[in-house]
Amino acid sequence: MKTPNAHKSFAIFIAAAILFGVALSAFSQSAPPQMPPHSTVLHAARLLDVGTGKILAPGEVLVEGEKIKEVGATVSRLTGAVVLDLGDTTLLPGLIDAHVHLFLHPGAEDLQTVEESVPQRTIIATLAARDDLMAGFTAERDMGTEGAGSADTAVRDAINAGQIPGPRLRISGDAIDILGGHEDANNFNPAQRVLSNATYANNSDELVAAIRAQMKEGADFTKIYETGKDRVVDGQLVTPYQYTEEQLAAAVAETARVGSRVAVHATGEPGTGYAARAGVASVDHAYVLSDDTMRIMREKQIFAVPTFTISEYFAAHAATPEAAAYENALIDIHTREFKKQIAAVPIAMGSDVGPFPHGTQAREFVLMVKFGMTPLAAIQAGTLNGARLLAWEKSIGDLKPGYLADIVAVPGNPLDDISQLQKVSFVMKNGVVYKK
């Protein structure tokens, strides 16, 4: 039985606050973001056109204020323009991770969401946002605060106001789950009444009510748990659905009413099929998709978000050999199915970072290539497709005149070595340089 000590909790919170202050101080001393001059020219050995896969050598981008003005082998040198020579690097759009958890960190997830206060977890989230930005992720979709309610609204708004460094965010607040579902506190003594890591909704009316409450608190979209608990039986994934197609359709209709969308955690059939037919924006994890589900996703342009990195991390850090074997069995199933999905459905990069360290999720690109994608397709999944999924396709995800100046640089050529995306050496967001 856990008996939280109030003095210990307060001490932990104070320590976290001090850590936050030290981290921000270190950030300000080592890489202070500078307000953009009127004109900046970025020069590098190469520039990747993510739409065509063509490499310009050399490559340049003219940035005026927060937007891209010109892109080419050479661009205009306006009077007073600052020229940044980035050397033997490749310029490409800022990376986009469509599945993150800013409020989680490595360690026992059930315990951290119970033992850590929401203020403490919010401090952790701001540090995570900084780490992700420094790794080149200039836009992200936060897929649930895991019990911290709408605290992500404050993080998003502080980033937008320039008060803290971080990616531009689409946020969902708490995800939505059924009683006893995937994110309920199933491993605790029920008599202790430990809160779920998600908001309960057990039917269509409750789904609509939960969505309305989250939108009132600032959510940009709705995240719903559709499947779980997963099992592997004779090499096949078995996972119960949580909501019917009709219930998911009610959620999709309610979000559409206010110009928003639904994303689902869904690993296998029939839940993945229910989600696709209901018209969700993305099926996240997507271990198994039937041929019919893939057909519907292709027709409706519903994204699959694979999240291989979290599976690899869980397998490598499993508490027992049996747990490791289970995680590896899931990876085997997913990689087998992924080869079918590559040609069948649109794919957006998402890592599920949080349970593994923030700022390391470019590993997802490496794994997508390892399991069958071309380097260009993987990069497109984390730029063009990510922008479409986050409904920012007309402003980020590509290096085009008029787009926001979200730009990164990596050593060498990522089309030759996708792991170079793990070595981002330059980060600009909204025309502001955060790392160089």
- Which of 157, 106, 162, 167 minimizes the C-alpha distance to 135? 167
Query: For the CA atoms of the chain, what is the radius of gyration?
Result: 21
What's the confidence (pLDDT) of residue 358? Answer: 98
- Which of 407, 272, 262 minimizes the C-alpha distance to 345? 272
Say yes or no: 185 and 233 in one domain: yes
> What average pLDDT does range 379-402 have in this prediction?
98
Residues whose CB falls within 8 Å of the CB of residue 290, separated by 6 or more in sequence, listed in order: 269, 272, 273
Q: Is the pLDDT of residue 409 over 80?
A: yes
Which band of pLDDT confidence, cut at 50, 70 and 90, is reported for residue 23?
very low
What's the confidence (pLDDT) of residue 78? Answer: 84
Give the integer Cα–Cα distance in Å for 276 and 297.
6
**374 domain-assigned:** yes
Q: Is the pLDDT of residue 9 over 60?
A: no
**325 domain-assigned:** yes
Kindly state the percentage of the chain with pLDDT values over 90: 84
Say yes or no: 108 and 196 in one domain: yes
In this structure, what token pair is assigned to residue 118? 């929401």
Mean pLDDT of the chain: 92
> What average pLDDT does range 282-297 have in this prediction?
98
Q: Is the pLDDT of residue 31 over 60?
A: no
Least confident of 77-91, 127-141, 280-294: 77-91
Say yes or no: 90 and 107 in one domain: no
Q: Report which secondary-structure segment, H or E, holds 388.
A: helix 384-389
Q: Is the pLDDT of residue 16 over 60?
A: no
Looking at residue 325, the DSSP 8-state letter turns out to be: H
Which band of pLDDT confidence, cut at 50, 70 and 90, is reported for residue 186?
confident
Say yes or no: 88 and 199 in one domain: no
Say yes or no: 124 and 87 in one domain: no
What's the confidence (pLDDT) of residue 113? Answer: 85
**9 domain-assigned:** no
Write the pLDDT tens digit of every residue in 226-279.
Answer: 999 999 999 999 999 999 999 999 999 999 999 999 999 999 999 999 999 999
**Beta strands at 137-142 and 95-100: parallel, antiparallel or unpaired:** parallel
**Beta strands at 95-100 and 426-429: parallel, antiparallel or unpaired:** unpaired
What's the confidence (pLDDT) of residue 109? Answer: 81
Kindly state the percentage of the chain with pLDDT values over 70: 91
**335 domain-assigned:** yes
Q: Is the pLDDT of residue 1 over 80?
A: no
Write the pLDDT tens digit of every residue in 45-94.
Answer: 999 999 999 999 999 999 999 999 999 999 999 888 999 999 999 999 99
What's the confidence (pLDDT) of residue 195? Answer: 79
**CATH code for the domain in which residue 404 is found:** 2.30.40.10
What's the confidence (pLDDT) of residue 79? Answer: 85
**237 domain-assigned:** yes
Q: Which domain does 315 fall in, by range? A: 95-389
Say yes or no: 216 and 68 in one domain: no
DSSP E strand stretches across 113-269: 137-142, 168-171, 176-177, 199-200, 222-225, 231-233, 236-238, 262-266
In this structure, what token pair is assigned to residue 259? 């110009």
What's the confidence (pLDDT) of residue 6? Answer: 39
What's the confidence (pLDDT) of residue 38? Answer: 78
In this structure, what token pair is assigned to residue 45? 């050995």
Which band of pLDDT confidence, cut at 50, 70 and 90, is reported for residue 21?
low
Cβ-contact 146, 109 below 8 angstroms: yes
What's the confidence (pLDDT) of residue 110? Answer: 80
The pTM for the full model equals 0.91
What's the confidence (pLDDT) of residue 32? Answer: 52
Say yes or no: 279 and 143 in one domain: yes
Q: Is the pLDDT of residue 27 over 80?
A: no
- Which of 264, 229, 259 minimizes the C-alpha distance to 244? 264
**CATH code for the domain in which residue 306 is found:** 3.20.20.140
Say yes or no: 136 and 250 in one domain: yes
Least confident of 27-36, 175-184, 392-401: 27-36
